[in-house]
Each structure stands twice: as structure tokens, then as C-alpha cells.
Amino acid sequence: MVLPATATQKGYWQCDLGSGSWIDFQWPFSAILEQAFCQGWSSVDFRRGGHDYRVTLGTASRLQEACAGKPCDAEQVNQQTGAKRRVKRWPSWAQKQSFEQQWAMQAIQNWENWNGADWAWLLDVNTLVPPSTESPPRRSYVLGCSTFQSEFWPPILRQWPKENLMCAAHPQGERCNFALQRLTAPALTESKCKASPQEWNALQELWQQGGRGSKLLAAFRVQNRGLIEAFTAQQQVMQRRLAEDHSDAHAQSLGVRLLWHGTRTVQGLLDICRDGFDRARAQTCAYGKGCYFASSANYSDRYACDVRLPRSDLYPRVRAVFLAAVLVGDCVVGASNMYPPPQKPHSASGERYENACDRLPNPSIFVTFKDHQALPLYIMLYE
């Protein structure tokens, strides 16, 4: 096996300083690493800047990768501190540039696929399928014709499409029980998945009312038939209970608020799309042991997750947060250990408050205690 004598070429060996920032190993350290690698050593030690380092090089199979013109990965460990860093060996500087050009073209292709797809699993680079214009396997999905028809529901819900929806198979084989449609502004002519002007204008207005000054990039409309049916059933139960409690001064107080909810991970977003909001997963419970929603998107941004898109050079940091429909009735100021909420002092039958909140009047944080008291409507992607 013969390898080119390129030990002193600049950029032949590189070390990751973190967050994808790579620096070159300079001579003589590059020569030390290259000599050990070419002789098939599993590791090599050297001293630099007053510290002792060990680089684990791997096995002979990596020599075969090198002969095939592929980059090889290794690991550097600081013997004093135990700190670890990724190390990469390129066959040559020219091949490094060639690989980077290929990756750039791949990123552009992935971005074009993401921007033009009418299916919506591409919430994270990790779920990207190989570059292709083909959509994943899909099946038709229909909502009931009577869904959200009454004046009780906000206008944006009454205008939702109910026919010709699609449920896309997840590229990693995860369960999908809902239709998820990616929406972009109607002005973005290169995208095939535009929202109607009415729907996008409504989302933009809600985004501005939520207090976010950042740009709204896209939205994912979540239409889960099971969650919608459970939500509407919960609304009927709560409305009937309030109406039957004749001494309740707020018998008609139940309404739907469009509120914000942040979750820490992309997986958490998809879990909520599938199974709804689960109060058992609540971690910070300042106002009660339930699910938390805010009138301010700025507040929910504290708990939102980062979403990595293919073109990180265009959008270096993208965040995602839920817009949810929440059934809000009579509220009581909550406490950290509150569950269930207390009884209403003005209720003839001893009914409990529907929600807890941070303050009265004009609460900004709402807590739900019942299953299906909130419904995920949209995932909002923003800068």
C-alpha cells in the first residue's frame, strides 16, 4: 500500500475546535500524525503547548478508505484534562476542496427539496432523505365536514381545508397519524406549498400580536383527526358543565384562545403532533401541574427548540414554536403544587376552575389540567 507523501501539506490534518470550526495541524505535528497513520498505528502521542495529547487513529480499514480518496476521522484526547476533539485526515488538500464542493451542492439540493416539498417531515436536517424530487409514501387524510363549523371557533379554524389532505410517511419509520402541511408565504413563488393569502395573513397577524419581531419563515399546519375529535368533545363537556351550573356568574365564559407553547426538541414537536399536549411531561410548574401556554410568543421562545435547515448559511438559526387552541374558562391564580385546581366559590355544584394562570386580571400564562383541553394547530418556524 502506497500513500502520497503529503504529511507537510497544509490542511492535510485538521482538528475540530467545536461547532464545526476546524483548524489545520501544522508541521511537525501533521508529519507525526501522517507517519503513524501510514504505518498503521492505532494511536500516536505527542506534546504540544505544554500538554500531552493522544490521537486514536483507528485500524487498517481506514488506510483502505484513504486509498479510495475518502476522509478519515480520528479523535484527540488531552491527557491532562481528558478533553476530546474530533480530528480529520484528508487524502490531499485538493480532495478536501472537492469534498466540500460536493457537500455544498448537496446542501443546495436539500434546500431546494425542502423549499419545494408539499410534505412536511423535514423539520430537521437529521430527517432529510437523500436528494430527490420524489415525495415519501403518502395516504389520503380527511377531516369531518362538520369540524370547526360553529361560530364558537376562531375564523382561522373555520377556514381549514378538510378534504384532499395527505398523511406522509416518516423517512425514519416513525408513526404518523395526522396530516402535516408545510406552508409558506404566497409571495414565495419558488415554493409549491403556499398558504392561501387569508391563512398566511392570519398567521402573520397572530405572529405580530404574539410580540415576535423576527421573520416568520414558514408554518406547518397540524391536522390530527383524533386530537381534533377529543378537543371538540372536551369543549362540549366543559360548555355543558358551565351551562348547568346556574349559580355560576360566568356560565358562558368558556372560549378558545390562540396561545403559544414551546418544547425543547424537534422530537418533542412531533410527539405533540401525534399524541397532543401531555401534562405528565411538565417540568417547570410555577402555577400548577399542567400544560403551559403563553399569550406571548416571546415568552414561549424561551422553551422553543432550534431547527436545523439545509441552508444554514441562509438561516443560521431557526426556531420552532407551537400555536395552539386552548379552552379557557374561569381562571384562578396558580401555585407550584396545584393539582387539581380549587373549587369555584361561586359554583352551586362545587365545580373546579377550568384553568390556572399567573395573574388576574389579564393573565399572560395559562395552565390546563384536563386531557385534550388544548390542540396543536401550527408549528411556526422563525428566525
Distance, CA of 217 to CA of 336 (rounded, Å): 36
Residue 130 clears pLDDT 50, i.e. is over it: no
Tell me if 2 is assigned to some domain. Answer: no
Tell me if 6 is assigned to some domain. Answer: no
For residue 71, the enclosing domain spans 13-91
The pLDDT tens digits of the residues spanning 18-73 come to 766 788 898 899 889 988 888 888 899 999 989 999 999 876 566 556 656 678 88
Tell me if 282 is assigned to some domain. Answer: yes
Residue 140 dihedral angles phi and psi, to the nearest 5°:
-70, 155
Q: Which of 140-154, 161-175, 209-223 has the lowest mean pLDDT?
A: 161-175
Tell me if 257 is assigned to some domain. Answer: yes
Residue with cell 405580530: 208
Q: Which of 91, 126, 157 is the last residue of a domain?
A: 91
Tell me if 105 is assigned to some domain. Answer: no
Residue 109 clears pLDDT 80, i.e. is over it: no
Q: Which of 56, 91, 126 is the last residue of a domain?
A: 91
User: Is residue 68 packed enough to be buried (19+ CB in 10 Å), middle (13-18) or exposed (0-12)?
Assistant: exposed
One domain, residues 303 and 334: yes
Measured CA distances, 193 to 126, 211, 309, 352 (Å): 21, 26, 17, 44
One domain, residues 220 and 84: no
Q: Which of 1-10, 30-39, 97-106 has the lowest mean pLDDT?
A: 1-10
CATH code, domain with 250: 3.90.228.10
Amino acid at 189: T
One domain, residues 60 and 130: no
- Contact, 175 vs 167, CB < 8 A? no
pLDDT confidence band for 173 (50 / 70 / 90): low
Measured CA distances, 273 to 131, 155, 180 (Å): 26, 21, 9
Sequence-separated (6 or more) residues with CB below 8 Å from residue 335: 287, 288, 356
One domain, residues 186 and 320: yes
The pLDDT tens digits of the residues spanning 260-318 come to 999 988 888 888 999 999 987 777 788 999 999 999 999 999 999 988 776 666 666 88
One domain, residues 87 and 160: no
Count the domains in the chain.
2
One domain, residues 127 and 267: yes
Q: Which of 60, 91, 122 is the last residue of a domain?
A: 91
Residues 324-343: what's their mean pLDDT? 93
Tell me if 258 is assigned to some domain. Answer: yes
Rounded to a whole number of angstroms, the CA Rg of the chain reads 27
